Amino acid sequence: MALITKKIKGTEDVLPKDSYRWQFIEKVMREESAAYGFKEIRTPVFEHTELFARGVGQTTDVVQKEMYTFDTKGGESVTLRPEGTAGAARAVLEHALDNEGLPIKASYFVSCYRYEKPQAGRLREFHQFGLEEYGTQDPIADAELICAAQSIFDRLGITQLRLEINSIGCPECRAKYHEALKSYFAEYKGELCETCLSRLEKNPMRILDCKSPVCSKIAENAPKITDYLCEECEQHFESVQSYLRAAGVEYTVNPTIVRGLDYYTKTVFEFVTDCIGAQGTVCGGGRYDGLIEQLGGRHMPSLGFAMGLERLLMVMDSQGIEIPDDNTCRLYIATMGEKARLKAFELVRTVREYGIFAETDVVGRGLRAQMKYADKIGAEFSLVLGDNELEQNTAKLKNMQTGEQTEITLDEDFAESFMKLIISRIAEI
């Protein structure tokens, strides 16, 4: 019988056998972000289209080409979120979180949606972890945010990453830089791709981010933003670097980093790797001091970053980093007969009350098939219950790896006895 449908192009399933990998990196991210004082925020998967048009920027590829936008039955234009920052900023404003004190530190896990050509490391539905901080213009916050990302990579054991930073200035100094770029790229109008020609007048900095080999080659000799920074932006950038050096974080200044979204100002940064091919940016972020104002709020300097979970897993796989699977079945109780099934059901329940992963047969398998299944799921211990075990109120607990057997009593202390055995085994390891 043919399947009715399959997953949509550009989406992926996370199967039960692989979910522990996601849970592990999410756990690390939650712990590290909590250590830096960030608390989780959860926002809707869709928002009014205007939020992204205003926040992300009309001249970006995301808004012009990649958003999933549709009209509701009520005639409202809504969009599946293409990134996490705009929704978080909207929530900060709508709920007046600044009344609770500044800075506001928020973390998030979100699914995002962009209509683009699916390829390795680039999906139409993808997942991001991000940190957002509102209400500080101090350069120490920029450095702290970068350190938070570095801490996550260190915890995950990821190496071969380059931290590249830049400053794209404020609206004042960027205006002068735009004029310099327009003058430079105007000489290459006949060679620029169609997209970059449209960017030339609206936002020439976006040409620096073009993936076309021709445009990239032309951009190599374009003016550098670092030569046009005003005094305040230059001092801010120097201070960020001094804090990074104090923290022992290695970095390089890359004047071509502009990031793909219009809301950025001053500090921008990327963590880049060469081990997963062309899609080498695993974390990107920076400062967006004008975003809250663009969304209708008062001036509230802000900053943040996002890292793609799919790409992060690709990096870990390419570097051979083993992700521990802590959700291993500790105990499988096999049974012979209905009385034994009842007793096994009772014992498994008491073991689970201690937070221990335990299983018994719920399919109706024979004893041999049950033991094969216990081996297949990697159960650490097994126990066989039949009439003799029930009469004697004891059973042999078998270590599935060593074959060693231990007699255990099937009484009200069964779960506690098993838990003590597990703890002692862990201590031996």
pLDDT digit string, tens, across residues 328-384 = 999 999 999 999 999 999 999 999 999 999 999 999 999 999 999 999 999 999 999
In three-state secondary structure terms, 395 is: strand
Residue that the structure tokens 């960027």 belong to: 174
Amino acid 322: pLDDT: 95
Residue 303, phi then psi, degrees to nearest 5: -160, 165
| 331-422 is a CATH 3.30.70.360 domain | no
Terminal Cα distance for the chain, rounded: 49
Q: What percent of the chain is predicted at pLDDT more than 90?
A: 81
Rounded to an integer, the average pLDDT of 163-185 is 93
Check for a shared fold between 19-170+230-318 and 331-422. Answer: no
| 19-170+230-318 is a CATH 3.40.640.10 domain | no
Two structure tokens written together for 144: 């702290």
Q: Is the pLDDT of residue 59 over 80?
A: no
For residues 103 and 301, what is the distance between their CA atoms, to the nearest angstrom? Answer: 10
Domain ranges across the chain? 19-170+230-318, 331-422
Amino acid 429: pLDDT: 47
Q: Is the pLDDT of residue 28 over 90?
A: yes
pLDDT band for position 414 (cuts 50, 70, 90): very high
E-state strands within 233-379: 252-253, 265-272, 281-287, 302-308, 331-335, 358-360
In three-state secondary structure terms, 201 is: helix
CA distances from 261 to 63, 93, 215, 228, 296 (A): 9, 20, 19, 20, 19
Q: Is the pLDDT of residue 208 over 90?
A: no
pLDDT in tens, 182-200: 999 999 999 999 889 988 8
Outline where 59-202 has alpha helix (H).
61, 85-94, 139-156, 171-186, 194-202
In three-state secondary structure terms, 191 is: coil
Amino acid 305: pLDDT: 98
Q: Is the pLDDT of residue 99 over 90?
A: yes
Under 8 Å CB-to-CB from 120, ≥6 apart: which residues? Answer: 276, 277, 279, 314
In three-state secondary structure terms, 51 is: helix
Average pLDDT of the residues of the chain:
93
CA distances from 429 to 24, 423, 425, 426 (A): 21, 10, 7, 5
